[in-house]
Structure 1
C-alpha cells in the first residue's frame, strides 16, 4: 500500500519527534475537514492550464479566462486562481502535492473515483474489494466521523455537508448517527436560522444542472449556518462542482468553481478566526478524492484507466501544524493518512489498526 523505502524512514522519525507529546500538548479542539471533488493538483500548484485555458471547445467565450486567470508565471497564476491557498495556507499552514519537487500525494486505492476516494480519506484505508462503485450503498467501514461521534466529548457535535447525494451512504448516516445534509436535502428541525430558511427556499427553486449534485453555494450556506448556530466540534464539508463541470468538459466553469471554492474556504477560516470557540483551537485539513487526466481529452476523466487520476494533493492549517508552506520535501504521502492525523492532533489514538499512519510534518 505504501512506498516503504521512503515512508518508513519518515514514520520512524515521526515517532521519535512526537513520542514525548501527550494529549495536553495539542491545542486543537475542533476539526474542519474539506474536500474539493476531482480538483487537480496541476491547477492547485500551477494555476490555469496553458493547454486548456483558451480552448474554444472547453471555454464558452474565447479569451474569457485570460484576464482573470492567466500569467506566464505559474506562481502568479496559482495566486490568481486560489488566493486564500497561496496568501494564507502557504504562509501559515502546509500544502502537499507539488510533484515538481518530488512531493507526491496519491490515492492508496486503485479505483481513482469518488466513493473509494472518500472512503479512504474518511476511514483511513483503501477498500478496493468492497468499495468499488459509486452506488448508494452504506459504507461497511467506520469513518473517523463515526468514531468521534461515539465518544462522549464529541457525541452530537459531528456534522457533514456535501453537494453529492451519495454522502449519507459514504458516512453511513443510519449507523453512525452523524447528520449528513447532502444532495438536495433541506435544513430540518426546530429553530432554523434565517440563513437556513432562506437557503431551503432558494435550493427548492434553483435545482442546478445535475440530478444528484447541488450547487456548492447551497452546501456552503448550510455549513456556515451550522458553524455559527450549532457550533460542531467536527465539521466535514464536501464541495462537488469542480468534478461535475470537468466531466462536462467545461474548463471555464471548472476554473470559476475552483476560485469560488477558495472563497468559500476563506469564509470558513475567517469565521473560525473570529469565534472564541474556534479561534486558535481549530485545525482545517483540505484535500480531494481523486485526480484527473492531463491531456485535452483525458482531463475531464478519471478512474483506473487514466494514469494520472491517482495523483492528488492536501493542505492543513491550525495551531498544531507548523507553518512550512509549500512542502518541497521529497517523499510519498497518501490521503489515507488523514484520518489518523486528525485523531493525533486531537490527542487521541485512532481506533482502527488498518488505518494508515499519520502525517508527521503536519503535526508539531
Structure 2
C-alpha cells in the first residue's frame, strides 16, 4: 500500500469510527428567543425601565406586582421560574457578566441574521451583513444531522420570523422549516396541526407579514414534537425582540415569562416520554443582546448600540453537567455554542460554504 493510500485509508477509518460513535438514540433541541438581554435573565426586571412611563404603557403597577422584588435572586426567579428553579439545579446557565462569565457574538453586526447564522453554522461569515441576505451559503448543524443515517428525515425547524427558510437554507438542507406564516399542507393530515395553521393564517398580524406571534409557533412545534418525534428540532421565538423594538417593556417581560414557561413545557414533555428521557440535550440561547448603558437604547441593537454583542446561553439534559449558574471567569462566543453541543454528542460537525 502506497503512503498516499495509507493516509486515505486512515482518514476513512477515522471518519467511520467517528460516525460509529454517534448514538442513534440521542436527540437534540435548540431553542432561541430573539434579542433577550442577559440583564433580565440574570437580574430580572430592570427598575429604571419599569419606572419609565415611556416603556410601561401606563401600567407600572402590574409590572411590579408580577415581577418586582428588592432581592435580585428572587426577582429573576419571578421572571423566569423554570430557569432559576429546575434548570439551574439540573443544567447550566452562562453569561452573568457581573461575575466575569462572558458570552458574546463574534460577528461584527450584532443583529439577527448574522447572529442566527453564527449560532447554527458555528462560524462567522462577514458577508452576511443584512437581515435580507440570500439563502445561507454555509451549511448548518441541522442540515448536517439530516445527512446522518441516525437523524435522516427526523429533523425540523419552527420559527416565528420568516427569514429562517433562508438562514437554514431550507431548499438545500432538505428538512422542513416552518416559519412565519408558512402553510405546510403535508402536515394537515393531523387535525390539530391543521387547526393551528388555520388559526395562524386568520390571526391578526401584530408584527406584519414577516413574523407570527410566538404562541402559534410554540403550539405547532409542540404538536410536531409529540406526533412526529423528531430527533433534532429547532424552535425560535421572536416576541422578546418585537416588543423591545416597540419600547413596550411590560410586554417584553411577559414575553420572557412565556418563553420560560414554554421551555418548561418542552422539558417536562421530554422527561415524561421514554423515547426522549435521558437521551435529549437542550441548548437555549439568543441571537444578540440590546443596549443597557444608555437606557434608552434597550429598545435597539446593532454595532452602533453598546452592549448588544452581549448574550447568554443555557443547557440541560443528556451529557450536560449540572453546573448551575456558571460563576467562573470565561469568554465564550456564539460561534462556539453549536460546536459545544456537537462535541457533547460526539458529532463531528463542521460548516461548509456551498455557493
Alignment TM-score, normalising by the size of structure 2? 0.90
For residues 272 and 169 of structure 1, the distance between their equivalents in structure 2, rounded to whole angstroms, comes to 29
3-state DSSP of counterpart to 2:215: helix
Structure richer in helix, relative to its length = 2
Alignment of 1:151-166 (within 5 A): 151-166=148-163
The answer (yes or no) to whether the contact 1:105–1:334 under 8 Å persists in 2 is: yes
Label 1:28 to 1:252 Cα distance change in 2 as closer, same or farther (>3 A).
Answer: farther
For residues 151 and 22 of structure 2, the distance between their equivalents in structure 1, rounded to whole angstroms, comes to 19
Deviation at 1:194, TM superposition (A): 3.1
The answer (yes or no) to whether the contact 1:23–1:348 under 8 Å persists in 2 is: no
Unaligned runs of 5+ in 1: 1-20, 355-364
Unaligned runs of 5+ in 2: 1-17
Alignment of 1:260-271 (within 5 A): 260-271=258-269
The answer (yes or no) to whether the contact 1:184–1:214 under 8 Å persists in 2 is: yes
For residues 251 and 69 of structure 2, the distance between their equivalents in structure 1, rounded to whole angstroms, comes to 19
3-state DSSP of counterpart to 2:283: strand
For residues 324 and 342 of structure 1, the distance between their equivalents in structure 2, rounded to whole angstroms, comes to 16
Deviation at 1:321, TM superposition (A): 0.7
Deviation at 1:204, TM superposition (A): 1.8
| Deviation digits for residues 3-23 of structure 1 (CA, Å, limit 9, x no counterpart) | xxxxxxxxxxxxxxxxxx997
Label 1:92 to 1:28 Cα distance change in 2 as closer, same or farther (>3 A).
Answer: farther
| Deviation digits for residues 44-75 of structure 1 (CA, Å, limit 9, x no counterpart) | 00000011113211112232200110001111
Per mean C-alpha deviation after superposition, the further-off stretch among 201-210 and 219-228 is 201-210
The answer (yes or no) to whether the contact 2:187–2:194 under 8 Å persists in 1 is: no
Aligned length: 333
| Deviation digits for residues 88-145 of structure 1 (CA, Å, limit 9, x no counterpart) | 11000000000011000000111000000000000001111x1100005100110001
Deviation at 1:190, TM superposition (A): 5.5
The residue that corresponds to 1:226 in the other structure is: 224
The residue that corresponds to 1:58 in the other structure is: 55
For residues 26 and 166 of structure 1, the distance between their equivalents in structure 2, rounded to whole angstroms, comes to 32
For residues 119 and 288 of structure 1, the distance between their equivalents in structure 2, rounded to whole angstroms, comes to 12
The residue that corresponds to 1:272 in the other structure is: 270
Alignment of 1:86-235 (within 5 A): 86-128=84-126, 130-189=127-186, 192-211=189-208, 212-235=210-233
3-state DSSP of counterpart to 1:237: strand
For residues 133 and 191 of structure 2, the distance between their equivalents in structure 1, rounded to whole angstroms, comes to 32
Label 1:187 to 1:273 Cα distance change in 2 as closer, same or farther (>3 A).
Answer: farther
Alignment of 1:184-333 (within 5 A): 184-189=181-186, 192-211=189-208, 212-294=210-292, 295-333=294-332
3-state DSSP of counterpart to 1:300: coil
For residues 25 and 226 of structure 1, the distance between their equivalents in structure 2, rounded to whole angstroms, comes to 24
| Deviation digits for residues 256-288 of structure 1 (CA, Å, limit 9, x no counterpart) | 011011111111111111111101100000000
3-state DSSP of counterpart to 1:112: coil
The answer (yes or no) to whether the contact 1:223–1:237 under 8 Å persists in 2 is: yes
2:34 aligned with 1:37: yes
CA RMSD of aligned residues (A): 1.9
| Deviation digits for residues 290-334 of structure 1 (CA, Å, limit 9, x no counterpart) | 000013310000000012000000000012111010000101001
The residue that corresponds to 1:344 in the other structure is: 343
3-state DSSP of counterpart to 1:276: coil
The answer (yes or no) to whether the contact 1:101–1:328 under 8 Å persists in 2 is: yes
Name which one, 1 or 2, has greater alpha-carbon Rg: 2
For residues 234 and 146 of structure 2, the distance between their equivalents in structure 1, rounded to whole angstroms, comes to 13
The answer (yes or no) to whether the contact 2:96–2:102 under 8 Å persists in 1 is: yes
